[in-house]
Amino acid sequence: MALLIIKIMNIINWANSLVGGNNNGFIVGNDNIFVTVETRHALSLQLQPRQSNLIIIIFLALVLPILSSAQTDFDGDRAFDDLVAQCDLGTREPNSTGAKAAIDFFRKTLEPLADEVHLQNFKFADPYADRQLNLTNIIARFQPEKSDRIILCAHWDTRPRAEYDKYFPGQPMIGANDGASGVAVLLEIARQLKQSPVNPGIDIILFDGEDYGAPGDLQYYLIGSRYYVKHPFLPLPRLVILLDMVGDADLTIKIDPVSYRSAPRVMEEIWSLAAEIGYDQFQLVAGAPMYDDHVPFIEMGIPAIDIIDFEYPGPDNRYWHTHDDTMDKCSPESLEAVGNTLLSWLYQQ
């Protein structure tokens, strides 16, 4: 009963954050659905008989999750080893020695696991220097013969500058969380898919060049995902799930409004499943809207969501784009919460 109340409270707080209001009561949209919270441990719902997204949200959150807690063989410690291995290669910005080593590491890791592994090499004119960037998207395909497909993705490159660092803002950063964490989860998911396939075909894609642009220069972010949507592997997926900055030891994953507008039901299912398993890192409250590798897919008309903790380690975001983004700020438990939840959801498809 306590978990049920917590779930309802999280749903109400999340809806409140999207439409405005306070903890004592609010009207949802134009549907005249008024929700009143009586105490911290009990609540009452005063509903007028009109359709409301809130009713659908509550139904999905409370009724649809499986009765028993979902669990997989996802190994958070092994995923953390993959995070450390990437950091040990050094910074992985385009054209660097670490980037070349990382491509080789990803290829050697994924080739024994996936049915197909492709290196999508392409060049991009460096907007800040007179040179060409040599970029590579890594695509690992599972059951490529299937037409029903889901893309799981992350960016593997690291930032060529740490502009918010107090001491060395011009030097490239190691990117333990912003770069290595999403990839680490996907490499472990690849091992699980090798042993126990899911129903849809899966494409795991590691994008290059996501984090190249200078602050505010959005046209030079998302280089790899923008290239991929123009040169996709067919058939196109029915859904894209992006992982970014999911290793923070103090993990708090809020709802990205851009993602929610694209695929609301998928987000409701995944966040509800996390609560069913017992992970409190997924919170049904609105976060900041994200401009990330899911956006090119949304612009193409493909539903896409971003699972991201953009508070690293808290609202001040003081580790983001600094040299403090190191492996000691990350944890196996955070990687497991994301990986086990996502993999559990995939096995329900």
Yes or no: say if 234 and 168 are a contact pair by the CB < 8 Å rule.
no
Helix, strand or coil, per DSSP, at residue 187: helix
**Domain coordinates in residue numbering, the chain:** 2-63, 76-347
Q: How far apart are the C-alpha atoms of 311 and 324, rounded to whole Å?
A: 14
- Please report the pLDDT score of residue 54 as a whole number: 52
Please give the angle made by the CA atoms of 10, 282 and 242, to the nearest 5 degrees: 135
Indicate the fold that domain 76-347 takes in CATH: Aminopeptidase (3.40.630)
- Please report the pLDDT score of residue 105 as a whole number: 98
H-run or E-run covering 203: strand 201-207
Yes or no: say if 108 and 100 are a contact pair by the CB < 8 Å rule.
no
Q: How far apart are the C-alpha atoms of 317 and 133, rounded to whole Å?
A: 29
| Of 207, 204, 230, the residue nearest 342 (C-alpha) | 204
Q: Where do the H-state alpha helices sit in the chain?
A: 2-19, 53-63, 76-88, 97-110, 182-195, 223-230, 257-262, 264-277, 295-300, 332-347
- Please report the pLDDT score of residue 70 as a whole number: 62
Length of the chain: 349
Yes or no: say if 140 and 194 are a contact pair by the CB < 8 Å rule.
no
Yes or no: say if 299 and 225 are a contact pair by the CB < 8 Å rule.
no
- Please report the pLDDT score of residue 24 as a whole number: 37
Please give the angle made by the CA atoms of 66, 246 and 205, to the nearest 5 degrees: 85
Distant-in-sequence, close-in-space partners of 61: CB < 8 Å, separation ≥ 6: 7, 8, 11, 268, 271, 272, 275, 284
Yes or no: say if 310 and 316 are a contact pair by the CB < 8 Å rule.
no
Q: How far apart are the C-alpha atoms of 91 and 89, rounded to whole Å?
A: 7
Buried b (16+ CB within 10 A) or exposed e, 96-112: bebbeebbebbeebbee
Distant-in-sequence, close-in-space partners of 164: CB < 8 Å, separation ≥ 6: 320, 321, 322
**pTM of the full structure:** 0.82
Residue 192: both structure tokens together: 């699980």
Q: How far apart are the C-alpha atoms of 136 and 131, rounded to whole Å?
A: 16
The β-bridge partners of 282 are 253
Query: What is the chain's pLDDT, residue by residue, as a tens digit (349 residues)?
Result: 333 333 444 455 554 554 444 443 322 233 332 332 322 222 323 334 444 455 444 444 444 444 344 679 999 999 999 999 999 999 999 999 999 999 999 999 999 999 999 999 999 999 999 999 999 999 999 999 999 999 999 999 999 999 999 999 999 999 999 999 999 999 999 999 999 999 999 999 999 999 999 999 999 999 999 999 999 999 999 999 999 999 999 999 999 999 999 999 999 999 999 999 999 999 999 999 999 999 999 999 999 999 999 999 999 999 999 999 999 999 999 999 999 999 999 999 9
Report phi then psi at 255, rounded to 5. -80, 120
